Amino acid sequence: MTYSIATIPGDGIGVDVTAEAVKVLDAVLPGISWIEFDWSCEQYLRTGAMMPSDGPSQLAGFDAILLGAVGFPGVPDHISLWGLLIPLRRAFSQYVNLRPVRLLPGTRSALADRTAEDLDILIVRENSEGEYSEIGGIHNPGRAEEFVLQESVFTRVGCERIIRYGFERARERGGKLCSATKSNGLIHSMPYWDSVFERIAAEYPDVETRQMHVDALAAEIVLHPDRLDVIVASNLFGDILSDLAAAVTGGLGLAPSGNINPSREAPSMFEAVHGSAPDIAGQGIANPIAQILTGAMLLDHLGEHDAAAAVDRAVCEVLAEGSVRTPDLGGTNTTSEVGTAIAKRGAEIAPTG
């Protein structure tokens, strides 16, 4: 099959690492049609918008979207986030943010004496509602009575579908699911989340469940990551926990993610967890592995499982050999050199290679 994939390289190192991911995917699956969209903070500074008003409709016909990082000095983060990423997630009902976190071969965890067997966690984050809501505002601005109201939104549909998705993924993996909550502090939203989790758990008697307050769960990731398999969490909690887990396994430069529309009625969007790091952009030292592994997730979502496995294996082999690495992993190679090494290995492994 041939696929039409949109790329939005974005800002900073997003441009650098997306080029390498495209290189690797082309090596393992020739024939992909790539269309690039220059939507970024730089466009915002030129036009006052991160993307055109019809941006979602321009992307709707693609099989998938590969997104680089967005963010640039002079553009507030809430502008870049709410001007591009969140509108696309919601327009395409990408209500699952999937973040696999594992210790890769040849890399070291920030935790002493932990191995790859100890660090292999899948975080299923709700991606369309929860704490990331537009409802609220600043009232009485500039006065002594000034206050800010920020509302969270937890719908029955939203909670049920993400929790059920978490159970399905747990059933495919090790059969364990942990729910992140904070029902001892958030009097309405988290007890409701817990009740939905408990109700759906009854449908999956084969899955072992836990419910942990998010602060205790953060400690568990650090102290006992081997006890965790799949975590399901609300939007904010999932965001924080996935960054913590990625840092524990060696840094955000190794962490992929996907914004998934499980129904496949609209394109899913794939992006590395890390930011745009404008201070090192264009210097050829950014680690492209997170974006390359994100590309593997994209291929897997499209059903190209052999090609996805080839990318994953190529990354693992190059890392394990240790001769080609970017400076953040203790090496001296450039972004392009790492991407080329992985592309070459992937082409040798892939069925088409």
Cα–Cα separations (whole angstroms), residue 257 to 159, 246, 297, 316: 20, 11, 8, 17
Helical H runs in 53-211? Answer: 55-59, 77-80, 86-91, 156-172, 189-201
CA distances from 120 to 98, 185, 204 (A): 14, 29, 22
Q: What is the DSSP letter of 330?
A: T
Residue 324 and residue 347: Cα distance in Å, rounded? 17
Q: Can you state the percent helix, strand and coil of the chain, rounding each to 5?
A: 45, 20, 40
Q: Which structure tokens are listed for 318? A: 């190059």
Annotated catalytic residue, options 132, 165, 300, 312: 132
Active-site annotation holds for 132: yes
Helix (H) or strand (E) holding 178: strand 176-181
Catalytic residue status for 243: yes
Of 11, 118, 120, 239, which one is the catalytic site residue? 239
Q: Check if 239 is active-site.
A: yes
23, 118, 120, 182: which one is catalytic? Answer: 182
| Of the candidates 220, 274, 192, the residue with the CA atom closest to the CA atom of residue 13 | 274
Is there a catalytic annotation at residue 182?
yes
Pick the catalytic residue: 243, 306, 328, 344?
Answer: 243
Helical pair 289-301 and 13-28, crossing angle rounded to 10 deg: 50
User: Whats the size of the chain, residue-wise?
Assistant: 353
- How many Å is the Cα radius of gyration of the chain? 20
Catalytic (active-site) positions: 132, 182, 215, 239, 243
